[in-house]
Amino acid sequence: MLGHIEVLQEVYYMEHVLQYSLNIREVTYALTEALDFVGIDDNMHGKRVAYMAAELSKSLSWSKKRTDDIIFTGMLHDCGVSSTDVHTHLVTELDWEDSYIHSIRGENLLKRTKIYQEFSTYIRYHHTHWNELPDTLSKEEKEMSNLIYLADRVDALRSQLKAIDANSAYNIEATIKKYSNIMFSPELVDVFSTTSLRNSFWFYLDEEALNEYLNEWVESAQEQEFSFVEVKEIAMMFAAIVDAKSAFTSEHSLGVATLSRYLAELFKLPQDVCEKIELSGLLHDLGKLRVSDEILNKSSKLNADERLKMNRHGFDSDMVLRRIKGFREIAHIASLHHETLDAKGYPYSLSASEIPFEARIIAVADIFQALIQNRPYRSGLSMDEAYEIIFSMCKDKKLDFTIVTKLKENLQTCYDKASIK
């Protein structure tokens, strides 16, 4: 039994050590970086919408809190979009009839994430015409939703025109005015018309200026303490966005995270390490948002160029997650899930001595979960078939023997964890 001192130490550990210091603006900025991957050749959409909505909010003399909220909403507004095909529709068509689908999906994602719940209604209606917004919404909800819609459509028009010059800026304004009191609030249209007369309004859409604008906003906020439950909600939101990219990867990240956590606990690793492993499992495939739908769903063998694009997803996960100061270690672990002990893995080709045990656990969990899941090129395997492949990779010095042994000793439970049963 634990003595009195040991009990106090355990309580202190639970209450004080297992906290995460995060700047939620920094987290949101990283999330919009990942969401912008979906555009591939047309990135930074979420940042541009956030910036334009913020500038219009300031012109309307809205409160600082409301302007901050519109920046959050702008960055998050396309969290329901994982597919490059959907993104293409959204930036090449002014009004797309199926746009409501990603709005509803985005609303549901935010409702499940406590720190973002207050923005869910704005996301739900950010593609609803001004004259069709339900009367059940408050005046503020209508204005916030419609401001995101207007900024979003301005950026879609900007994308179609490729470059901003005097003529294209005029054409964008004329198009927006055409739909005043139909798609957009007349008040918002008027403030856009006056605010967009400033040359700087358009200059800030350039990558360097835009990042500087938003970095100042991020850096003006303080870090806050979050519990593991709150942080896990954020990570699960990230994971859900990634896993929605393909029907074949549904709940893959959740399965990898659940199995990884279970394996870590079997090895009796400290609780904080188990948590980092679970979070890394949820976030490991974030970089796949940059992979086109065609490559991800291809049923035949990838060619060399396609393989290279696929192989960089661990690197891209690292680049996004390392932007969050409290996630640096998690970013590193998550990025190594395709490294192998024979130094032939990717993206870094690390030697065995360079691959931490946490990453080795996620590597085994990732492969096992993928093997039992249906993929475009094959049906899911049984747990015994999956294990045989895992064991052969272990014999080839690719996977850690101790972890594979633990998998074998608990095969049925591991299968259930990876299957989300």
Stretch 114-143: mean pLDDT:
97
202-229 pLDDT per residue, tens: 999 999 999 999 999 999 999 999 999 9
Is 64 a residue whose pLDDT tops 70? yes
What's the pLDDT at 87? 67
pLDDT band at 243 (very low <50, low <70, confident <90, very high): confident
| Structure confidence at residue 11 as a pLDDT band (50, 70, 90) | very low
* DSSP class per residue in 80-114: T---HHHHHHHHH-SS-TTHHHHHHHHHHHHHTSG
CB 272 within 8 A of CB 223: no
| d(C-alpha 309, C-alpha 287), whole Å | 10
Handedness of CA 242, 243, 247, 248 (dihedral sign): positive
The predicted model gives 79-93 an average pLDDT of: 75
Cα–Cα distance, 323 to 279 (Å, whole number): 16
- The percent of residues above 70 in pLDDT, for the chain, comes to 92
Domains of the chain, start order: 24-219 (1.10.3210.10), 228-418 (1.10.3210.10)
pLDDT of the residue at 204: 95
Distance CA 417, CA 254 (A): 9
pLDDT band for position 1 (cuts 50, 70, 90): very low
3-state secondary structure of 136: coil
Q: Which of 10-14, 16-20, 67-71, 319-323 has the highest mean pLDDT?
A: 67-71
Residue 97 confidence (pLDDT): 77
pLDDT at site 297: 82
pLDDT score of 178: 97
Our measurement of the distance from residue 272's CA atom to the centroid of its chain's CA atoms, rounded to an integer in Å, reads 23
Mean pLDDT of the chain: 90
How far separated are the first and last CA of the chain, in Å rounded?
A: 34
Q: What is the pLDDT of residue 6?
A: 43
- What's the confidence (pLDDT) of residue 199? 92
| CA gap 28, 68 in Å, rounded | 12
- In tens, the pLDDT along 154-167 reads 999 988 876 667 78
* Confidence band, pLDDT 50/70/90 cuts, at residue 358: very high
C-alpha 18/C-alpha 114 separation (Å) is 18
- Torsion angle of alpha carbons 99, 101, 102, 106, nearest 10°? 130
Question: Taking residues 357-362, what's their average pLDDT?
Answer: 98
Question: What mean pLDDT comes out for the span 147-152?
Answer: 97
What confidence tens digit (pLDDT) does each residue in 276-306 have?
Answer: 999 999 999 999 888 888 888 888 899 999 9
Least confident of 69-83, 84-98, 126-140: 84-98
Mean pLDDT, rounded, for 124-134:
97
Please determine, for residue 182, whether its predicted confidence score (pLDDT) is greater than 50: yes
pLDDT of residue 245: 78
**364-411: per-residue pLDDT in tens?**
999 999 999 977 767 889 999 999 999 999 999 999 999 999 999 999
40-44: long-range pairs with CB below 8 Å, 24+ = 40/84, 40/290, 40/292, 42/87, 42/91, 42/159, 44/207, 44/210
Least reliable range by pLDDT among 49-63, 306-320, 357-371: 306-320
How far is 51 from 29, CA to CA, in rounded Å? Answer: 12
Model confidence, pTM: 0.89
Per-residue pLDDT tens over the stretch 258-270: 999 999 999 999 9
Name the strand (E) or helix (H) holding 188. Answer: helix 186-195
Contacts of 245 (CB under 8 A, 6+ apart): 82, 83, 288, 289, 291, 293, 296
The predicted pLDDT at position 139 comes to 98
**Hey, is 180 helix, strand or coil?**
strand
| pLDDT, position 81 | 80
Residue 94: the pLDDT is: 79
Query: Where residue 117 falls among pLDDT bands split at 50, 70, 90?
Result: very high
SS3 call for 157: helix
Nearest alpha carbon to residue 235 among 370, 327, 333, 133: 327
CA-to-CA distance for 215 and 47, rounded, in angstroms? Answer: 11
Q: What is the pLDDT of residue 40?
A: 57
